[in-house]
Structure 1
Amino acid sequence: MASTSEAAANPLLAGLNAISNGNSPASARYADIGINLSDPIFRGTYHGKKAHDDDLQQVVQRALEAGVRKMMVTGSDLMESKNAIKLAEELPGLCYATVGVHPCSAMSFSKHEAGPDALLSDLSKLARDSRDSGKAMAFGEIGLDYDRLHYCDKETQLIYFAKQLDLAIDLQMPLFLHSRAAATDFERLLRERLDKLPKRGCVHSFTGTLEEMQALVAMGFDIGVNGCSMKTEDNLAVVKEVPLERLQIETDGPWCDMRPSHASAKFLQDGPEMPKAVKKEKWSKDEMVKGRNEPCAITLVAHAVAGIKGVSVEKVREQAWRNSIRMFGLGEAPP
């Protein structure tokens, strides 16, 4: 917990005192295992333009008040991995990082000024150092995305997913994985290395089919669920079948928010009340921004999953917490 002197030196730490001050539900504890908290949008900058003041402190405060106790900040390339680690340093005990290059950013290997091997070496050192310092808990976000080939072609994605998996074997960190419309290649590359990846990992923001989910679970991987995982009736049918002991929950903010148009909306009619949201042009530090997903919204994810599965929110919340701590640690003793 942040001391008074630490909080005074770093305003972001002030929010951590909410837990000890009794400003959050005593029984609630959530781990948001996929949150892009280092994105400039949480500092008031949208598409390179400043729209309002930096409100990261208020975002963190709302998360704490909702019961979020752990956040794993996603690294999507070398720079964003460094930014995630910086947040883990600024918010110790609450934030942890992942280190890796997202498939949509895989072109960065060929564009690296010293070449692809140098970038792999830099990633390895960053992951190893931040792992050993307790700041990084997973290697990722790595994987394949054939839905967005305009960002990176298939061949390049395949090459650097394989190379990063080989790096993960050396690092022996749990994986934080991404798969979109690429199940066959994704599973093949994992299976080829499965016996060398005993810590497995979580396939986050899952939107695949029932058969794809079952294959991943059979291989020993957990399934991460957020708003994008519950858009359609087919999505709901898959989420219903994810074994609770292999389920993790996340927001993937600032994206993947839960919307009234989603199939999951029917399970939120009596859901938890969220803070008021306004357009960014009418921003207030005490209100959410419309269209910008926040970690406090993980309560909606848990509520929808509970409704889909026909179990209590408490059961979903507690099992997901235990699963995340089991796999990633997040500064806690394994359950």
Structure 2
Amino acid sequence: MATCHVSDIATVLSRAWTAGVDRIIVTGGSLEESKEALTIAETDVGVHPTRCKEFEESGDPDKHFQALLSLAKEGIEKGKVVAIGECGLDYDRLQFCPAEIQRSIFSAGVAHSFTGSAEDRDKLLSINNMYIGVNGCSLKTAENLDVVRSIPIERMMIETDSPYCGIKNTSAGIKFVKSTWPSKKKEKYDQECIVKDRNEPCLVRQVLEVVAGCKGISEIGQLSRTLYHNTCRVFFPQDLDSAADSLLAGHDPQ
């Protein structure tokens, strides 16, 4: 398969650091992706709901699960695995994996890329220590914004889920976006620009701006610090003291 442009990972990361991103967690969507992610950065280990067929296709679902579990344990011991995921139920794309297979594999929950109703939000918030992850997919409609508006800041995290789930010009939240980057189609790649319609870590700042806008928060720095602290509490508890120091110093990570 031909590529449209050279690898631009260094440029993407540079834009992220410049935008205020402080940490990046790589997501593994399958056993093999989880193995690869462990060689790159801090990561989670899991199988995305749409990939659940891999358990049956392996020929031995129990052995496949044990391999996944061993990988997670090894990564935790090395300080590289910070969460279990992605996992859950995904009924929007059943063409990839039937619901019955997903249910047979799934035994835990995660509130990532939240697009649910007010009722869904309240059910999640009724669970102790449950946080709700918000990205561009969470901010598409006026109804989405109403739901996000009532998520307590201390129970929220922001994310990109890049290269997916970017904030589109048709999104209801676009009116709150202040930070933009020049973009070009991938066929006209330029390291000074982001690739059109490809989400990047730096664009988490846009999610922050929309959350602040829909909640009527003018002090975006304090919002950023609170959300960062939430993230450290769940994924980097060993660094909570340094995160608190960062907050006191006025550093604004996203």
State the match for 2:39 in structure 1.
Answer: 86
2:233 and 2:106 mapped to 1: Cα distance?
Answer: 25
Shift of 1:80: 1.1
State the match for 2:124 in structure 1.
Answer: 216
2:150 and 2:240 mapped to 1: Cα distance?
Answer: 28
Q: Does 1:308 align with 2:214?
A: yes
Q: Does 1:109 align with 2:52?
A: no
CA RMSD of aligned residues (A): 1.3
Shift of 1:50: 1.0
1:129 and 1:330 mapped to 2: Cα distance?
Answer: 18
1:49 and 1:81 mapped to 2: Cα distance?
Answer: 25
| Aligned residues of 1:305 and 1:316 also touching (Cα < 8 A) | no
Q: Does 1:264 align with 2:170?
A: no
Q: Does 1:72 align with 2:25?
A: yes
- Which contiguous aligned blocks of 4+ residues in structure 1 show a shift greater than 3 angstroms? none
State the match for 1:3 in structure 2.
Answer: none
| Aligned residues of 2:125 and 2:131 also touching (Cα < 8 A) | yes
Q: Does 1:286 align with 2:239?
A: no
Shift of 1:111: 0.4
Provide structure 1 residue ranges, at least 5 long, that are not aligned to the other structure.
1-47, 89-95, 166-174, 178-202
2:213 and 2:112 mapped to 1: Cα distance?
Answer: 20
CA 1:282–1:253: 2 relative to 1, 3 Å: same
| Aligned residues of 1:105 and 1:152 also touching (Cα < 8 A) | yes
User: Structure 1 residue aligned with 2:229, among 311, 322, 330?
Assistant: 322
| Aligned residues of 1:207 and 1:228 also touching (Cα < 8 A) | yes
1:74 and 1:213 mapped to 2: Cα distance?
Answer: 23
Identity %: 40
Shift of 1:287: 1.5
User: Structure 2 residue aligned with 1:148, among 83, 88, 93?
Assistant: 93
2:207 and 2:93 mapped to 1: Cα distance?
Answer: 25
2:88 and 2:126 mapped to 1: Cα distance?
Answer: 18
1:310 and 1:251 mapped to 2: Cα distance?
Answer: 21
State the match for 1:132 in structure 2.
Answer: 77
| Alpha-carbon displacement from aligned partner over 1:288-322 (angstroms, at most 9, x marks no partner) | 10011000001100000000011122132111101
Higher normalized strand content (fraction of residues): 1
Shift of 1:49: 3.6
| Aligned residues of 2:112 and 2:134 also touching (Cα < 8 A) | yes
Shift of 1:85: 1.0
Shift of 1:330: 6.9
| Aligned residues of 1:70 and 1:330 also touching (Cα < 8 A) | no
| Aligned residues of 1:205 and 1:225 also touching (Cα < 8 A) | yes
In the TM superposition, 1:1-335 aligns within 5 A as: 48-88=1-41, 96-113=42-59, 115-162=60-107, 165=108, 177=110, 203-220=111-128, 221-268=130-177, 271-272=178-179, 274-311=180-217, 312-329=219-236, 332-333=239-240, 335=244
2:34 and 2:121 mapped to 1: Cα distance?
Answer: 27
CA 1:236–1:72: 2 relative to 1, 3 Å: same
State the match for 2:250 in structure 1.
Answer: none
Shift of 1:229: 0.2
| Aligned residues of 1:223 and 1:248 also touching (Cα < 8 A) | yes
State the match for 2:247 in structure 1.
Answer: none
| Aligned residues of 2:229 and 2:240 also touching (Cα < 8 A) | no
| Alpha-carbon displacement from aligned partner over 1:213-253 (angstroms, at most 9, x marks no partner) | 11111112100000000000110001000010000000010
Shift of 1:275: 2.6
1:132 and 1:330 mapped to 2: Cα distance?
Answer: 15
Give the secondary-structure state (helix, strand or coil) at the position aligned to 1:248: strand
1:159 and 1:132 mapped to 2: Cα distance?
Answer: 29
Shift of 1:55: 0.6
Shift of 1:103: 0.3
Shift of 1:120: 0.3
| Aligned residues of 1:226 and 1:250 also touching (Cα < 8 A) | yes
Shift of 1:130: 0.4
One-letter amino acid of the counterpart of residue 289, structure 1: V
Provide structure 2 residue ranges, at least 5 long, that are not aligned to the other structure.
245-254
